[in-house]
Amino acid sequence: MPLKIAVCVSGGGSNLLALLESLRNFGGAQVVLVLSNRASAAGLGHAKTFGIPASVFRNASDGDEWLELLREHHVDLIVLAGYLKLVPPAVIAAYRGRIINIHPALLPSFGGPGMYGLRVHQAVLASGAKVSGCTVHLVDEEYDRGPILAQSRVPVLPGDTAETLAARVLEAEHRLLPAVVRAAADAGRPIPIPQPVESNP
């Protein structure tokens, strides 16, 4: 039985798209549901293109609403791919160890409340770090705190702006997230995976 995945998005959905493309010819996992807190999230369009049921929360803080949808679609794994709100505690409790998030920096640095979008990359540049990257981690009750499953490193280059760094990190995200999901499908649950190939400048 393939691992059934719900992907939560708030915006562009490029990680969702990368995941859908990566799973196209992979029997081990399938995206069965796309959820969003925003009706205008472009990720909902990707769901439509791929013929996947999609739903916009009436109230994204209502755990019962989440659990009803997740159970209806027999979801095994929840993937937060650019989902900007907290997952309700009842959902964390019901799916503990089976919710993953991708973050556009090397956690535990540059994470936590308010650290999303370009702010993350601005903070990396301001710190003078020479390396950034992305992290996939298990989700718990706090933003960006759960155990790390995998990271991919990318260089910070001279002259980088938050935008150029974000674009380089996003490319790495598009490889890292599918790699973690495939490993989860093979293992039946999310597991740590070894350091994937580093991206080239």
Q: CB of residue 119 vs ligand GRF: minimum separation in angstroms?
A: 11
CA–CA separation, 48 and 3 (whole Å): 20
Enclosing H/E stretch for 103: strand 99-103
Q: Catalytic: which of 46, 103, 137, 174?
A: 103
CA–CA separation, 125 and 159 (whole Å): 10
Q: CB of residue 150 vs ligand GRF: minimum separation in angstroms?
A: 13
81 binds ligand GRF (CB under 6 A): yes
Which three-class secondary structure state does DSSP give residue 133?
strand
Contact mark string toward ligand GRF, 25..54, x via CB under 6 A: ------------------------------
Q: CB of residue 81 vs ligand GRF: minimum separation in angstroms?
A: 5
173 binds ligand GRF (CB under 6 A): yes
Q: CB of residue 52 vs ligand GRF: minimum separation in angstroms?
A: 15
Integer-rounded Cα Rg, in Å, for the chain is 16
DSSP string across 110-122:
T-STT--THHHHH
Number of residues that bind ligand GRF (CB under 6 A): 13
> CB 59: neighbour CB atoms within 10 A?
11
> CB 107: neighbour CB atoms within 10 A?
21
Q: Is 103 a catalytic residue?
A: yes
Task: Choose between 1 and 49: whose C-beta lies nearer to ligand GRF.
Answer: 49
Max CA distance (Å), the chain: 49
15 binds ligand GRF (CB under 6 A): yes
Q: Which residues are catalytic?
A: 103
Question: Which residue ranges make up the site for ligand GRF (CB under 6 A)?
Answer: 9, 11-15, 81-82, 102-104, 170, 173
